[in-house]
């Protein structure tokens, strides 16, 4: 080993192969497409509690993934080490809406594609995905699902309630029935024809029904 070998730095050698222009283009493109994903997320959001931090994280995720892929593609040895380092990362945040997972994968995919240098694929792919999401988000469904919970005093009141439900709803399905002395509790999934307030009022006026509750139903049911 010579004296010059002692001061030879592999870090400086890697810095020479680093392309500032390619990195700037990839990060700017990731930022722009990340903002596009953020806007599509705001337009298609159908929940009640909107989280602005989740939308911002989509932009950050696209940029961070792009930066990681740029580093991986520049050095094979570094890519192997980075795969091992990232394998120990665990995310504990609970994601309740399946659409949020789709947006996360979209942001990650954009970062990977841009890091690989496939800018046209990232642009046209994102435009196509955004268009599809906008079309399906504005498509009207046949009816909003609700869960109708009824408390009846006897079988006669239960029969009258079911007759009313069969006439005034588009679809209905009994999810559960609980019977105790002097009380029958029904949980029915319904798609109403009229306004939900009117349906509850009319059901509560039926003799023998002591309680009628209508709650929003997102497709998940726990017995």
Domains of the chain: 3-137 (no CATH), 145-216 (3.30.70.260)
Across-strand partners of 190? 146, 172
What pTM does this model have? 0.61
Q: What is the pLDDT of residue 3?
A: 46
Kindly report the length of the chain. 223
Per-residue pLDDT of the chain (223 residues; tens, 9 = 90+): 554 554 445 544 555 456 778 888 888 999 999 999 999 988 887 765 667 788 888 899 889 888 888 877 766 556 555 655 555 556 566 666 778 888 888 998 998 898 888 888 989 999 999 899 888 876 655 556 778 888 888 888 888 888 887 877 778 888 888 888 878 888 888 877 665 567 777 777 788 888 888 777 655 444 3
CA–CA separation, 118 and 140 (whole Å): 36
CA–CA separation, 212 and 115 (whole Å): 56
Nearest to 192 by CA among 214, 168, 208: 168
């Amino acid at each position: 080993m010579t004296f010059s070998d002692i001061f030879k730095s592999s870090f400086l050698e890697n810095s020479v192969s680093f392309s500032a222009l390619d990195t700037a283009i990839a990060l700017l493109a990731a930022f722009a497409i990340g903002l596009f994903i953020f806007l599509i997320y705001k337009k298609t959001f159908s929940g009640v509690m909107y989280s602005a931090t989740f939308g911002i994280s989509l932009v950050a995720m696209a940029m961070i993934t792009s930066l990681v892929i740029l580093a991986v593609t520049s050095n094979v040895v570094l890519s192997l080490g980075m795969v091992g380092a990232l394998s120990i990362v665990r995310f504990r945040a609970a994601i309740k809406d399946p659409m949020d997972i789709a947006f996360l994968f979209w942001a990650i995919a954009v970062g990977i594609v841009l890091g690989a240098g496939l800018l046209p694929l990232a642009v046209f792919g994102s435009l196509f995905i955004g268009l599809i999401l906008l079309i399906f988000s504005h498509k009207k469904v046949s009816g909003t699902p609700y869960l109708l919970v009824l408390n009846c005093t006897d079988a006669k009141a239960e029969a009258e309630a079911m007759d009313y439900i069969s006439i005034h709803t588009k679809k209905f399905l009994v999810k559960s029935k609980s019977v105790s002395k002097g009380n029958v509790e029904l949980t029915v999934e319904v798609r109403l024809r009229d306004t939900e307030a009117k349906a509850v009022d009319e059901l509560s006026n039926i003799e023998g029904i002591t309680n009628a509750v209508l709650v929003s139903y997102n497709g998940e049911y726990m017995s």
